[in-house]
Chain A
Amino acid sequence: MARRTNPLRTLVVFFLGIAVMYGLVALAGSWSPALGLDLEGGTRIRLAATGDGVTTESLDEARGIIDARVNGSGVTEAEVTTEGNKYVVVEVPGDSSQSKLVDVVKRQAQLRFRLVAQYGAGTAQPTAAPTATGSGEPTPSTTPGGGVLLPSETPAASSSSTAKPSPTASPTKKATGKNRAPFVLPDDSQSADPTGTATATDGSSSTGSPTGTASPTATPTDAAAESKDPVDKALAWQQNPDEKSLAAYNAFACGTDTRSQSVNPNTGEAVEGDNPNWPLLSCDDQGQKFLLSVAVVEGTDLSDASAGVPQNQLSWVVNLEFNGHGTEAFAKVSNALVGTEDLFAIVLDGNVLSSPRMDGRINNGRAQISGSFNQESAQALATSLRYGSLPIAFEKDVSVETIGPSLAGNQLSAGIYAGLIGLMAVMIYCLIYYRGLGLVVLASLIVAASITYGVVLLLGAAANFTLTLPGIAGLIVAVGITADSFIVYFERIRDEMRDGKSMRVAVEAGWARARNTCLAADAVSLLAAVVLYIFAAGVVRGFAFALGVSTLIDLVVFFWFTHPMVSWLSRFRFFNQGHKLSGLDAEALGIDKINLGTPATAGGRA
């Protein structure tokens, strides 16, 4: 066992470590801890839901998602509540200059991958004939004669698909959840309206389309299955958009307000909003307009999103990872589009983020969104995407106001006051009971307190850790638990001395036993901290964090301060000869005579 190290050296290293920590604090630049909502107040963001489909359930679900977004990373202890039947209120500690946060919170984050059928300059074209395709359109497949109904594609086929929602089953199941706007089967209209029927179905079987690679993955023999798969349908539609959509596309203009419109396949009427099951007209940042297919991959198919800078690149991207279904659909799309000039578009909340060409086959379900991101915006988008999209949209203008603390000002001072009194009492008790050793307790507690303060400051800078009143109470309680380690240790030393060991021996022997006891007991606390941090949310998470930190500090102080300190002190005659004030004299131990550790010579004493 390598415990023959010089205790003084351990102490010096330990204090150097503390100095380094405070150096870091000095770099971070704030010397008072960030206080939580209840003590200092913060920012109150009130979002008003818009659109129909706002129910108590959807509002509550939105609340949950927003909660995950603000509390998901770090331990801010923000509060998210619903108010009335249409508001979600987010309260975040700290000052109000967090415009980034408003974005993260408010963004609906409905991410969809769609296929680009047409694109061009974002102005309306008055010649609304379907043949008059816009300038610079690379898709040569928009032949007006595409709308021929093949005999095999009987209305029966489409009516069967109307009867049960299986054709669009995979996205539908997700879509019919509370997470989506009311879903309308596009096929519904196709059986009712012959021209409508031609739109989606004819393309899938029109092998005569110039880009014959349109659906290479789909088995051509199984035409029925092919037409039932929404991705195949969309791929076919990309080659042959229906006339109504084209007409709507031509009439569409990118304005400041109209960013996206969904085209109702029944009527060809363009309505505001992003309906995943309808073709979409949308614009990107450069003012180009797009005619996009129905969504082929949905944001709900994401399993993870993160921001990062790829190797050998400089700009920030958002990395996406799809789940099984998303991977499958995305692979199909990528196989169909690779090698062609066709584009697909990544649409976020109705806006085209980017419209890349497919450069390679992507079968592993990983994709990147690149664009004009900086670190903040990439991270904000990744955070929004990671916790899912909101089932409802919110109004553009949100009310942001500064709120005061919810606890009276005297509570903080009273809490700290009480804590200090308590700590003083603890120290006095230890001094009376342990006398000389009590000084070690005192020093250990002071060291533990200073480390805790430093860690709180550092975490405030690094992880937005804020101190709430319960948090402060927790830290005060943690001091009591920290003191328990010393008590266990000192009682062990005393027990060993009662067994007749000299103080110097007892210090080491007691350490060997107390160490195991404390490790086992602290392991339980650490276990609680880790498990609760992983599973819980909000306040409980903050608590788990504080518990873990204080337990670790307990161990650090116990191993690298208290023990070396005691073994160093045991070299002094004051302690090892059992001075009356050392706390280790015969009277304090309750025995008649302590072993003074004088070597027993072979012949005994004269």
Chain B
Amino acid sequence: MGKFSRLGNELYSGKRSVNFVGRKWLWYAMSGVIVLLAVGGLYFKGLDMGIEFVGGAQYKVTVADSAPKVNQTDADKIREAVAASGIAGTESPVVNTAGERSIIVQVQTLTTAQSEDIRNVLAQTMDVDPTNGVSEEQIGASWGKDVAKRSATGLVVFLVLVVLFIWAYFREWKMSVAAIVALAHDVIITIGVYALSGFEVTPATVTGLLTILGFSLYDTVVVFDKVRENTKNLRAVRMTYPEAANLAVNQTLVRSINTSIVALIPVGAILYVGAVQLGAGSLKDLALALFVGMAAGTYSSIFIATPLLAHMKQGETANKQLEKRLAAKRRHQADDRYANVPVFADDLPVRDESDDLEDDDELAEDVVPPATTTPAKPVPTGRGRVVPQASRPVTPSTAAGRAQPTRQSRSKRGKK
């Protein structure tokens, strides 16, 4: 634990940092490959839509009046028998008892031969006559087109509002774009996993996807909040936008790791129980979607959203100029490190004022801030004449041809 904590501190202070933002092309390429795989899987394999979406066949097994009443055990027995029958489309049947004499089995649409097979399986399991004891009906989708359409409308409205919200909260539309790209990345990967694994898509899957949608945005907002905080005053901290963003990601790295552990442990437990102990059932599908999606959500906030944001912000004129200036300064500092040691001056700050938090707590007075030796004003170096430092404030008035120092009357001096 000690090492991890030490790492946490070093990540925070920037002593050690992982270059997330700088290696953006690596992350882009990695995600690109994964997304391509997902899209490929979606294109070639397609999604296995459940009964709820496309309809299917329903078999009703009715036991004779003399036989004992059906119960949940019978339903479970049938579910297992059908799932084990190996007929395509019957891997995850919906089975429940209906009344006291019958059991309803819903599977995907089957061919006549398959239908015959399933009838025999059912008849054998429940010990009834395959023709009289089992009736068949086609059932329609409970998730028809209109439901899908309404949900899609809701989704689009939500996305538009989220873009507006992020834009309004961070005052930065590029953050909206980056967040949406990261979101699309997560959702596509999750859908791709569904296509590749061949799990049936059920309404539970849809809720899983929506959870991922929410989680991905949530995580991105948390990271971006730190990014904004760090990049608020770039000139004061003397960092380029990508550097500040990278520091932010590193500083939230511990949080991201902890959050993903805490969020993924329960889902992982459900996935394990669902897949290993239970086998068939909607639990494992849902847990898989959640696991993949939430992992992707944390990943994309760090590896996609922030580098993309920095990438876009880098192109801005102000940031370009800042970068150029900083590069020049660093070059100069590298040449002669001691040229810049400031001479002691009265107004030399004892501490770095970049901390923007209002310490309105009286306890804050107790704190002894770590003294840093930053020069009051950076001396422009390397070009042109060195402007002498003004000892007093100067008026911007041009009445005298150039700016003049102001001096207050004696009676007002010393008062403020």
Chain A residues in the interface with B (C-beta under 8 A)? 1, 38, 41, 44, 59-60, 63-64, 67, 79-84, 87, 89, 401-411, 414-415, 417-419, 421-423, 425-426, 429-430, 432-433, 469-470, 473-474, 476-477, 479-481, 483-484, 487-488, 491, 494-495, 498-502, 504-505, 508-509, 512-513, 516-517, 520-525, 527-528, 531-532, 534-540, 543-544, 547, 587-591, 595, 597-600
Contact = CB atoms under 8 A, between A and B. Distances in A.
A404 B76 CA distance: 11
Contacts, number: 309
B367 A595 contact: yes
Contacts of A534: 154
A470 B286 contact: yes
B65 interface: no
Given A432-B1, A494-B8, A527-B158, 5 more contacts: A418-B269, A477-B215, A480-B267, A527-B162, A536-B150
B96 A406 contact: yes
B79 A539 contact: no
Given A41-B97, A547-B211, A589 B9 contact: yes
A540 B225 contact: no
A491 B222 contact: no
Contacts of A405: 72, 96
B230 to A, nearest CB: 12
B254 A491 contact: yes
Interface in B136-157: 137-144, 146-147, 150-151, 153-155, 157
A64 B149 CA distance: 12
A131 to B, nearest CB: 53
A60 B146 CA distance: 10
A437 to B, nearest CB: 12
Interface of B: 1-2, 5-10, 12-13, 52, 55, 58, 71-72, 75-76, 79, 94-99, 104, 137-144, 146-147, 150-151, 153-155, 157-158, 161-162, 165-166, 169, 203-204, 206-208, 210-211, 213-215, 217-219, 221-222, 225-226, 229, 251-252, 254-255, 258-259, 261-270, 272-274, 277-278, 281-283, 286-287, 290, 294, 355, 357, 359-361, 363-364, 366-370
Contact of B266 (A477, A484, A487): A477
Given A81-B142, A481-B215, A426 B266 contact: yes
B282 A480 contact: no
Given A502-B366, A587-B2, A470 B138 contact: no
B147 A505 contact: no
A487 B166 CA distance: 22
B255 A532 contact: no
A63 B255 contact: no
Nearest to A405: B96
Contact of B5 (A79, A479, A495, A590): A590
A527 B266 contact: no
Contacts of B1: 432-433, 588
| Residue of B94, B229, B266, B281 ringed by the most chain A CB atoms within 10 A | B266
B259 A484 contact: yes
A537 B75 CA distance: 29
B251 A495 contact: yes
A414 B55 CA distance: 28
5 contacts: A64-B146, A415-B270, A500-B370, A528-B214, A595-B368
A306 B141 CA distance: 30
B158 A532 contact: yes
B269 A425 contact: yes
B76 A540 contact: no
A535 B12 contact: no
Contacts of A408: 75-76, 79, 278, 281
A544 B154 CA distance: 11
Interface centre among A407, A476, A479, A500 (most CB of B within 10 A): A407
B104 A517 contact: no
A500 B147 contact: no
Q: 5 tightest CB-CB pairs across the interface, nearest first? A: A422-B266, A535-B154, A590-B9, A480-B263, A82-B140
B223 to A, nearest CB: 10
A604 to B, nearest CB: 9
A547 B9 contact: no
B76 A543 contact: no
A469 B12 CA distance: 41
A531 B140 contact: no
A404 B162 contact: no
B139 A83 contact: yes
Contacts of B366: 502, 505, 597-600
B283 to A, nearest CB: 6
Contacts of B211: 474, 477, 543, 547
Nearest to B265: A425
A89 B139 CA distance: 9
B104 A521 contact: no
A404 B157 CA distance: 38
B363 A597 contact: yes
A589 B5 contact: yes
Nearest to B207: A543
B140 A422 contact: no
Nearest to A517: B225
A59 B141 CA distance: 12
B147 A537 contact: yes
A516 B213 CA distance: 21
Contact of A543 (B12, B210, B218): B210
Given A414-B273, A498-B13, A483 B214 contact: no
A474 B283 CA distance: 11
B370 A470 contact: no
Contacts of A600: 366-368
Contacts of B261: 429
A52 to B, nearest CB: 20
A491 B72 CA distance: 49
A83 B8 contact: no
Nearest to A89: B139
A491 B142 contact: no
A182 B366 CA distance: 86
Nearest to B13: A498
Contacts of B273: 414-415, 417-418, 421
B96 A524 contact: no
Nearest to B58: A83
B218 A477 contact: no
Contacts of B7: 590
Contacts of A87: 137
B260 to A, nearest CB: 9
Given A517-B222, A595-B368, A535 B151 contact: yes
B281 to A, nearest CB: 5
Contacts of A484: 218, 222, 259, 262-263
Given A401-B98, A491-B254, A418 B8 contact: no
Nearest to B263: A480
Nearest to A56: B140
A535 B150 contact: yes
B408 to A, nearest CB: 31
A588 B267 contact: no
Contacts of A402: 98-99
A557 to B, nearest CB: 15
Contacts of A516: 225
A494 B7 CA distance: 13
Given A422-B266, A423-B266, A590-B8, A403 B278 contact: no
B139 A82 contact: yes
A434 B13 CA distance: 20
Contacts of A63: 140, 142, 144
Contact of B98 (A403, A481, A538): A403
Given A483-B263, A532-B154, A500 B368 contact: yes
B162 A535 contact: no
A408 B399 CA distance: 90
A599 B104 CA distance: 75
A495 to B, nearest CB: 6
Contact of A476 (B76, B221, B267): B267
